[in-house]
Amino acid sequence: MTTIDEHALDDLARGAAILGTGGGGHPYIGMLLAKQAIREHGPVELVQVDELDDDALVVPTAMMGAPTIFLEKIPNGAEFVNAFEALARYRGHVATHTCPAEAGGVNALTPFVVAARKRVPVVDADFMGRAFPELQMCTPTMYGISATPMAMADDKGNSVILETPSNAWTERIARTITIEMGCASMIALYSLSGAQLKKCGVRGTVSLSSRLGRLVREERAAHRDPVGAVVDALSGHRLFEGKAVDVDRRTESGFARAAVAIDGTGPYADSRLLLDARNEWLSAERDGEIVATAPDLIICLDSETGEAVLTEEIRYGFRVVVLAAPCDARWRTDAGLELAGPRCFGLDLDYVPIEARAQQTAEARMR
């Protein structure tokens, strides 16, 4: 068990932006909310999965909706607590812990708002190992664990409890409600026991975010290479570097959609990379060839600072490095690809692990 104070949240937010793969909502806002809650109520305990009792009740909390909206419609933090409490009441049990539903973006920070206010620990795990745009794209789905009952709350005082026959239906109904709530809602879902979390959780992702954030900060302070350090830390592969020259972005059906063209510089001069996003970066195409797809992590970093560049903030002229890193092994199974493979995002492609794609590219260059 470790203690998270407000100073530890800076590194956590920086790393969460990296694992957010462009989406998940800007962690800076979540960091401010979490800092305020910790300032008022005290530090938060971070516990490892193996420290959980099997009969613990873990209630994850998150934000649902388009990240672009979250920048303009900032919650006060009470909405997360309202959803957390509503779900615990509905379950008829006292929630003993919370955890992130996804490791990336604002949703890596929102559990700390709840944990500080309710004085419960945060579990060092999530259900994605990254960020994904839809609710059913979580590891518990692979284990037959229902996302519902699910609680939703907004800034106007509305609250909803959902019961659905499948996690895909949870996404459809909750997305419609979220749009009516102004394209952003605060949610609590996938409540599960300690025993269930030990089976289905992606372990250590909160700590990983903190390590990544600290690494970028220290490498930058030492005038070294923060981008290279992130690539190494994630066993990743550098795909491209260049300048954003065209950005097409819109909020549609509760998602932030974006298509970005990047013209290459340095070793990638005379090449172009196209990034496609639905909240998160989902595919990268270089000179007409697909070089990475979800569920592997596609990450866009500022070429100088190593800070993550999100889908809602990239603009013309941004100088970036794009890298890809392996996802949790469960996403590469048939069950995982059925939930979050390329075809789930409308891409008519077979999934090829980033390691294999990188090897193919290296062999092609040698010929």
**Per-residue model confidence (pLDDT) at position 5:** 95
Distance CA 119, CA 318 (A): 41
Mean pLDDT along residues 90-113: 93
User: Which of the 8 DSSP states describes residue 295?
Assistant: T
List Cβ neighbours of 143 (8 Å cut-off, separation of 6 or more).
196, 199, 200
Residue 210 to residue 135: CA distance in whole angstroms: 24
Q: Name residue, tokens 């819109």.
A: 250
pLDDT at residue 366 greater than cutoff 80 = no
Helices (H), the chain: 8-19, 27-41, 67-72, 78-91, 110-118, 139-142, 167-180, 194-200, 205-221, 226-233, 334-340, 354-366
This model's pTM is above 0.75: yes
pLDDT at 70 over 70: no
Q: Is the peptide bond prior to 295 cis by the omega test (within 30 degrees of 0)?
A: yes
**Does residue 160 surpass a pLDDT of 60?**
yes
Residue 65's pLDDT band, with cuts at 50, 70 and 90, is: confident
Q: In order of start, what are the domains of the chain with their CATH numbers?
A: 2-205 (3.40.1610.10), 223-366 (2.40.390.10)
Give the per-residue pLDDT at 258.
84
